Structure 1
Amino acid sequence: MDTCCAKALVTGKVQGVGFRRAAQEQALKAGITGHAINLADGRVEVLMCGERTAVKRLAEWLRTGPGAARVTHVEFEVIEAHAPDDFHTG
């Protein structure tokens, strides 16, 4: 499975409109782990880890969010995700 992790900072009317709950529902349906948290500056931070195409779909959804949200900007950062290294002896 081709997995990846990404962090998104979502700007606009994204607090108090059900954005985090809707993002959680989208993520759970897609098998994505991570979080959606409100930031003090009014943005929402979304961490997404999972199958690459599922993360990409959730990232696209973040650009509009739920109906009551008004997203004006989304900043993405890809985060390194890898399985633990093997441990070999001798």
Structure 2
Amino acid sequence: MVAETRTLTAQVPVELAQEVDALSERLERPRQWIIKKALVQFLTREAEKRRLIQEGLDDVTEGRLISMDEARAWADSLGADNELPVPKA
């Protein structure tokens, strides 16, 4: 089954368009393929960012917190012989 498509138009700096053209030639793929891949990756990354932010906000709401001192002590111990375990809420 072929997915329904829709054309989007965007103004981009000439240098960016030239980079897309050059990559298109190197990969022997159409510009449309490169732009679609980039857009899918961007949207996936942004969705994951929103999910992680919401997860953090939920932790705060539920009181799952550690102090800044605990976090700093743990971070300072990274790479040391007596590395501390990850703090637990």
Computing the radius of gyration from Cα coordinates, the structure with the larger value is 2
TM-score (norm 1): 0.21
Higher strand proportion (structure 1 or 2): 1
TM-score (norm 2): 0.21
Structure with the larger RCO, 1 or 2 (CA within 8 Å, 6+ apart)? 1
Higher helix proportion (structure 1 or 2): 2
